[in-house]
Amino acid sequence: MANLQKSISSPQELLRDKAWARWTALVLLASAMFFAYIFVDVLSPLQEYLQSTKGWDPSAYGRFAGSETFLNVFVFFLIFAGIILDKMGVRFTAILAGAVMVAGGFINYYALTDSFMESGLKNFMDDFVNLPDTWWNITPFYDGMPASAKLSAIGFMIFGCGCEMSGITVSRGIVKWFEGKEMALAMGIEMAVARLGVAVVFLGSPAIATFRDNISVSRPIALSVLLLLIGLIGFIVYSFMDKKLENEMGSNGEVKDDPFKISDLKYIFSSKVFWIVALLCVLYYSAIFPFQKYANNMLQCNLGISAEAAGRVFFVFPLGAAAITPLLGNFLDRKGKGATMLIWGAILMIICHLTFAFVLPATRSAVIAYSAIVLLGISFSLVPASLWPSVPKLVDNRLLGSAYAVIFWIQNIGLYAFPMIIGAVLAATNPGVENAMDYNYTVPMLVFASLGGLALILGIILKALDAKKHYGLELPNIPSEKSLEAEVESAEG
Ligand SMILES: NCCCC[C@H](N)C(=O)NCC(=O)O
């Protein structure tokens, strides 16, 4: 009775009201994303060793790299992931996503071991998983692809389902714990921690692969599967906290943002501004994540350095992005200029990719390489920090959940296609090149620069449309005291 009286007279303090509890929840969720992003790029600095030890030429590597998003794009797994999250909640979906990542990661690891090379499964892959290597074959497999690359692609596409599912689940989890509190900061930190995972990979993966001068591409991937397992354990621990919070909150425990609805598609697809943002997103990200898959080898070829040395140059890119993204998020919250930030992000990206295409091969200068990579890191902070928070200003609140799901799906099409396109372009523009240190990357870099050019045009159109239709893209998210006073004054007449 005393308890009942207490709960009526003063609102009950929930677990999420305790700072230690919500920041612990963030640590558990962000750690899983950190380990996931480590796995995404664990093989990216090892292109040279994959070619020399496993026979993966640029086409095989490109098909493998694109396979991550195959099921998300063609089997609509990303959309199903959204529906599972809505129906089953954060706890179940997080554990499922973590388990799917571990399963996919383990298959990818097994494909690169000696045991696989001696197994019947390898012969099966060689004999039966074959499709013609022509333009209409959009699968990650083709006749003549090394069996290890085929099985790796299967593992990576399963992992990719878990990874995108984790991405949307972690965002929902952060909303659940931080709504009405430090939500933007928590999201910025989560994204920065994920970028740190990529930085760790570019430093650590080549060092682990060449440990004691004994080259093994399966060694770093074994370690990253172990990290995925720790991430899964983190999700399980998180689920106990989530359950406790939900019990405290009663039936209102699950924070529901708008779920994906097929019927929403007609409103979304008929919006001109939605298409501008979705295309800008796919063009920009297609010149970033697929570029990461080739960046190490591009630096090796242009600077004549080892995979380890190239990793040490490239690691400043995700590190810089991790450091600057939360600051730019804060700038956007207070000062605005979202559309301008998108335009500058695209301009910086074009400058960097053109530098990699023409200036770096001509000068072979490490200073120029570092400078371009730092600029690209700034670009990769400007665009994510302004793009994602701009969506709610452009799309009706009711359609927001569906809009994000569709933007991710369209983005995944680019993330699927461009690693393969770049692999094919690299192979076609370097006929007869046997050594993975001898590729000329000018044409692939021009493809990435063109994507930046198209993103820039869309950024300019978006800014013009914003000036005409007053979406508020250039306005701050947190109104200043002055503007609040002005609003109060005008309301009072
Ligand atoms: N699997 C790695 C790519 C994740 C893409 C994800 N849909 C996304 O856009 N995340 C936001 C970001 O800026 O990383």
Which of 164, 283, 325, 381 to mutate for ligand 1's pocket (most ligand atoms within 8 Å of CB)? 164
Q: How many CA atoms lie within 13 A of 446 on its CB side?
A: 7
Q: Whose CA is nearest to atom 5 of ligand 1?
A: 164
- The distance from CA 475 to its chain's CA centroid, rounded to whole angstroms, is 27
* Domains and their CATH numbers in the chain: 18-257 (1.20.1250.20), 258-484 (1.20.1250.20)
| Beta strands, E only, 303-359 | none
Q: Whose CA is nearest to atom 3 of ligand 1?
A: 289
**Neighbour count for residue 347 (Cβ, 10 Å):** 18
Evaluate if residue 1 carries a pLDDT over 50: no
Atom of ligand 1 nearest to the CA of 194: 14
Each residue of 126-153: pLDDT tens digit? 887 787 777 788 888 888 899 999 999 9
Distance, CA 194 to ligand 1 centroid (Å)? 9
CA angle 9, 11, 14 (to 5 degrees): 150
Average pLDDT (221-234) is: 98
Q: For residue 276, give the DSSP letter.
A: H
167 lines ligand 1 (CB under 6 A): yes
Each residue of 171-225: pLDDT tens digit? 888 888 887 777 777 887 888 899 999 999 999 999 999 988 889 999 999 999 9
Q: In angstroms, what is the C-alpha Rg of the chain?
A: 23
Evaluate if residue 35 carries a pLDDT over 60: yes
- Residue 345 near residue 404, CB atoms below 8 Å: no
Q: What is this structure's pTM? A: 0.86
Average pLDDT (9-35) is: 87
Distance, CA 191 to ligand 1 centroid (Å)? 9
Give residue 5's pLDDT band: very low, low, confident or very high (50, 70, 90): very low
- Residue 290 near residue 415, CB atoms below 8 Å: yes
Give residue 26's pLDDT band: very low, low, confident or very high (50, 70, 90): very high
Q: Is the dihedral of CA 486, 487, 491, 492 positive or negative?
A: negative
- Residue 72 near residue 161, CB atoms below 8 Å: yes
Q: For residue 432, give the DSSP letter.
A: T
The predicted structure's pLDDT at residue 364: 94
% of the chain beyond a pLDDT of 90: 62
C-alpha distances (whole Å) from 348 to each of 33, 158, 298, 381, 454 are: 27, 34, 19, 11, 13
Distance, CA 408 to ligand 1 centroid (Å)? 8
Q: Whose CA is nearest to atom 13 of ligand 1?
A: 384
User: What tokens does 439 get?
Assistant: 């590729």
40 lines ligand 1 (CB under 6 A): yes
User: What tokens does 121 get?
Assistant: 């499964």
Cβ within 8 Å of residue 20, ≥6 positions away: none
Average pLDDT (145-174) is: 94
What whole-number distance in Å separates Cα of residue 28 and Cα of residue 236? 9
Distance, CA 115 to ligand 1 centroid (Å)? 33
C-alpha distances (whole Å) from 191 to each of 33, 85, 124, 197 are: 9, 20, 40, 10
163 lines ligand 1 (CB under 6 A): yes
Nearest to 422 by CA among 136, 64, 97, 172: 64
Q: Which of 21-35, 70-84, 398-412 has the highest mean pLDDT?
A: 21-35
C-alpha distances (whole Å) from 181 to each of 49, 178, 184, 185, 187 are: 47, 5, 9, 9, 12
What whole-number distance in Å separates Cα of residue 125 and Cα of residue 379? 41
Atom of ligand 1 nearest to the CA of 281: 9
Q: H or E stretch including 316? A: helix 316-335
Q: How confident is the prediction for the chain on average, in pLDDT? A: 89
Average pLDDT (271-287) is: 95
Q: Is the dihedral of CA 404, 405, 408, 410 positive or negative?
A: negative
Evaluate if residue 493 carries a pLDDT over 70: no
Cβ within 8 Å of residue 242, ≥6 positions away: 25, 90, 91, 173, 176
User: What tokens does 465 get?
Assistant: 């449309």
Nearest to 456 by CA among 353, 372, 347, 375: 347
User: What tokens does 351 get?
Assistant: 């400058």
Q: Which residues of 63-91 are buried (b: 16+ CB within 10 A; e: fewer)?
A: bbbbbbbbbbbeeebbbebbebbbeebbb
Q: For residue 10, give the DSSP letter.
A: S
What DSSP string runs through 445-476?
HHHHHHHHHHHHHHHHHHHHHHHHH---TTS-
Evaluate if residue 262 carries a pLDDT over 90: no
Which of 285, 342, 382 to mutate for ligand 1's pocket (most ligand atoms within 8 Å of CB)? 285
Backbone angles phi, psi at 335, to 5 degrees: -115, -20
- Of residues 399 and 484, the one with the higher pLDDT is 399
How large is the greatest C-alpha to C-alpha distance in the chain, in angstroms? 83
Note the residue count of the chain.
493
408 lines ligand 1 (CB under 6 A): yes
Q: Which residues of 391-422 are buried (b: 16+ CB within 10 A; e: fewer)?
A: beebbeeebbbbbbbbbbbbbbebbbbbbbbb
Each residue of 417-428: pLDDT tens digit? 999 999 999 999
Give residue 326's pLDDT band: very low, low, confident or very high (50, 70, 90): confident
Give residue 6's pLDDT band: very low, low, confident or very high (50, 70, 90): very low
Nearest to 245 by CA among 21, 33, 5: 21
Tokens 């689920």 identify what position? 239
